[in-house]
Structure 1
Amino acid sequence: TLIDKAEALRESLDLEGILVTRSEAGMTLVQSGQPPAHFSASAREVFDVTGAGDTVIAVMAGCLSAGLPMRDAAHFANHAAGVVVAKLGTASVSPEELLTAVNAAPAGAAGNVLAETSLASVLEDLRAAGQRIVMTNGCFDLLHPGHVRYLQQAKALGDVLVVAVNDDDSVRRLKGESRPVNTLDDRMAVLGALSAVDYVVSFSEDTPARLIDALTPDVLVKGGDYAVEQIAGHESVLARGGEVRVLEFVDGHSTSGLIERLND
């Protein structure tokens, strides 16, 4: 797989990391001791790809020389490439243009908040490399200590944790017109910042059954007192020889309780 080849090259050259540019598929950063980070292509319009690779190299070099972590440097380089391919001919990106592009990006778009198709490709590579994929889902409207503990327990069941998040319309249908309190972008950004969470993806249906079937996790996790048969997506996971686990929620913490206290 792409990740296997990148990792083999990184090891053979004794490098800290390798950034693989993938045209319209974005970029993938492979670092020692860390899960691969995928960056979706940021360009809204593409007029000319001339110089995009040079731009990535230049911005990566500048950011790393300034002391930025490799993942942050790749984040900036990805946005810089998105700026130059929207111009005709060989072009450069100014600091002002780069900052504008970064600030205009959705919250959390720093590498682990992915579209379904991009995530499916990344998980395929990770699975081929022997990584055990764990997946859970929820609204995660107001994140609290119970959520954090639950996600830490879920991550402990495998190597890579994927969190699927209901989009705003889905939350509204399930929870009522006053929800969500936080937008989808904000909810995904907070989840993506947690150390236990490797990737975040959204879905628009009332249940994540279709998404679970598409992403084929090795372990499906749900919190609460559900029976396995009540958990959306359990059929496809079990049919592939996977595992479905139910974890207990931490008492005393709930989003509904937080909202009630805020309204008092």
Structure 2
Amino acid sequence: MKRHVAKRRAKGQKMVFTNGCFDLLHAGHVDYLEKARSLGDFLVIGLNSDLSVRKIKGPERPVNPQEFRARVLSGLECVDYIVLFDEETPERLIKELKPDFLVKGSDWKEDQIVGADFVKSYGGKVIRIDFSYQVSTTGLIGKIKQSH
């Protein structure tokens, strides 16, 4: 991944980085990712691996295995690269890739965004994106469980 980033940067391109589980892809995810991508020249998604998701969300998650989640995300025009990570946070990835723009949803306060201080330390920007859709994977799973 670092090689791809270096090639694109050599052309003067700016990298946008975001991360997440993206377990059941929904309209909110797509809108968020499109907005993130519009901030730079290429979008890198740090995708929580199955191990990482279980650490964060519990033993019943993810619903979709990492290969399926990566395949669905790769079908979106706005997504350029996907990198799986096993840790609970993408801190190591952020430090290795040094994004120009670190993006999270506006539900995160800037001081809670992993890597924010690091990105700002070299002149990168931390951007919080407002949600256009009030939907979540956890909420969808809850609806599904209630209907059965």
Which TM-score applies when normalising by structure 1?
0.54
Say whether 1:129 aligns with 2:7: no
Query: How far is 1:204 from its partner?
Result: 0.7
- Please give the secondary structure, in 1, of the residue aligned with 2:77: coil
Question: Gaps (5+ residues) in structure 1?
Answer: 1-118
Say whether 1:253 aligns with 2:124: no
Query: How far is 1:248 from its partner?
Result: 1.6
Query: Counterpart of 1:177?
Result: 59
Query: Counterpart of 1:236?
Result: 118
Query: Counterpart of 1:36?
Result: none
Residue by residue, what CA displacement relative to the aligned partner does 1:160-195 show, whole Å, maximum 9, x if unpaired?
A: 001111111110111111100000111011111100
Query: How far is 1:250 from its partner?
Result: 2.9
Residue by residue, what CA displacement relative to the aligned partner does 1:47-71 show, whole Å, maximum 9, x if unpaired?
A: xxxxxxxxxxxxxxxxxxxxxxxxx
Say whether 1:151 aligns with 2:33: yes
Query: Counterpart of 1:34?
Result: none
Written as runs of structure 1 = structure 2, the 5 A alignment for 1:60-209 is 119-209=1-91
Aligned pairs, how many? 146
Distance 1:224 1:140 in 2: 17
Query: How far is 1:128 from its partner?
Result: 1.2
Query: Counterpart of 1:15?
Result: none
Distance 1:251 1:133 in 2: 25
Query: How far is 1:228 from its partner?
Result: 1.4
CA RMSD of the aligned region, Å?
0.9
Residue by residue, what CA displacement relative to the aligned partner does 1:16-56 show, whole Å, maximum 9, x if unpaired?
A: xxxxxxxxxxxxxxxxxxxxxxxxxxxxxxxxxxxxxxxxx
Q: Is the 8 A contact 2:27 2:133 kept in 1?
A: no
Distance 1:164 1:200 in 2: 6
Query: How far is 1:249 from its partner?
Result: 2.2
- Please give the secondary structure, in 2, of the residue aligned with 1:188: helix
Query: Counterpart of 2:107?
Result: 225
Higher RCO, Cα 8 Å, sep 6+: 2
Query: How far is 1:252 from its partner?
Result: 2.6
Residue by residue, what CA displacement relative to the aligned partner does 1:224-264 show, whole Å, maximum 9, x if unpaired?
A: 32221210011221111100001122343110111011112
Residue by residue, what CA displacement relative to the aligned partner does 1:102-148 show, whole Å, maximum 9, x if unpaired?
A: xxxxxxxxxxxxxxxxx110001101110010000000000000000
| Sequence identity percentage | 49
Which of the pair has more CA radius of gyration?
1
1:171 aligned partner, one-letter code: V
